[in-house]
Amino acid sequence: MCQDFTKFYVEPRLMNLPMDLDALFTRSAPLFLEVGFGNGEFLIENALNRQGHNFLGIELSVISMVKIMKRLSRENIENVKVMMVDAKFGVRELFPDESVDGLYMNFPCPWPRERHSGKRLNTVDFLLSVAAVLKKGGMVQLYTDSLEFAEVFAENLGQTSCFIKIELIKNPPQVNTRYERKWKREGREIYKVTAEKLKTPMLRRIAGGDEMPHTWIKELKPENLKKILNSPIKKDIGVFVYKSMLKDLDDDRYLVETIAIDGDFQQHFYVEIHKRNKGWLVKLDSHGLPFRTPAVKKAVYELGKILEKRRGAL
């Protein structure tokens, strides 16, 4: 029998943001979020033991995503949803303020090299996002084998001024994940950081809305784009670059490979140019839609100007 495990997968790029969590789970219940669920042992164990609660997992690994969805389907677990999205962006952009009862992080990569410091999930900016989406009195819990990561995590929780009861514990009770078992076998120390949400910070979000960016041009001049391919275009709202232009041999249609960067969040997508009765429609390609951030929207509008060489382009 063919299993439908896609029902557990959430695609926030197709939703108005922030998400309607009650509609997502078709019920109102306390919500707990795990950032980086890996093999999914912790997420599934908690979902089975607390069936009156909703659980949502964030992960970037396709393999992890497929594994957990197969198990959720096989065991008929109904109170778990999963999504594949960057954790920093996802926590900040996808959840309404004060909508999450608790957030778990089990053995995130500590990214010890300085050149990878922007990927660490113990920064003040990330923890402000966590504070924004947690309900007052909600908890955050970290397990890690890196003392330095744990100490910075605890310190930065305090720096936000949004948490109380911040505690760092050495060798706490196990959460029974694959990485924890591995580090225990190797004799490593384990550290746990917990804190309680006190107040909600003001947070600037950049994604969302129901606007699908598009523009119309009367005349198409592809040669205009060739002049600036692979040249980053910097605007106040972000940076974007057009990488290549592909033509459909059987139709009046082009695809422009594009990269847009909002702060530290980068997206790779295609902009479609399609001949219609009243001219050329420039819009996001429907396959692999990006989040509609300011840089993505600007990339679409500027492409129309460039291709028609209207005054004001760039």
Annotated binding site for substrate: 145, 177-180
Q: How far apart are CA 133 and CA 201, in angstroms?
A: 9
DSSP code at position 13 = G
Is a pLDDT exceeding 80 seen at residue 3? no
Evaluate whether residue 206 is within a structural domain: no
Together in a domain, 158 and 228: no
Q: Which of 170, 197, 224 is the last residue of a domain?
A: 197
Evaluate whether residue 178 is within a structural domain: yes
Together in a domain, 17 and 146: yes
Together in a domain, 224 and 279: yes
Evaluate whether residue 265 is within a structural domain: yes
Together in a domain, 253 and 169: no
Together in a domain, 192 and 61: yes
What is the reported pLDDT for 297? 94
Annotated binding site: 34, 59, 86, 145, 177-180
Residues 199-237 have pLDDT tens digits of 999 999 999 766 778 999 998 888 888 888 999 999 999
Together in a domain, 171 and 95: yes
Residues 45-98 have pLDDT tens digits of 999 999 999 999 999 999 999 999 999 999 999 999 999 999 999 999 999 999
Together in a domain, 192 and 247: no
Residue 21 sits in which domain range? 6-197
- Cβ neighbours of residue 46 closer than 8 Å, sequence gap 6 or more: 32, 53, 55
Given CA atoms 147, 148, 151, 156 in this order, what sign does their dihedral have?
negative
Evaluate whether residue 1 is within a structural domain: no
Annotated binding site for S-adenosyl-L-methionine: 34, 59, 86
Give the domain CATH number at 176: 3.40.50.150
pTM: 0.89
Together in a domain, 227 and 192: no
Together in a domain, 191 and 223: no
C-alpha distances in Å from residue 279, one per residue of 157, 219, 245, 247, 250: 54, 7, 19, 17, 18
What's the structural domain count of the chain? 2
Together in a domain, 142 and 287: no
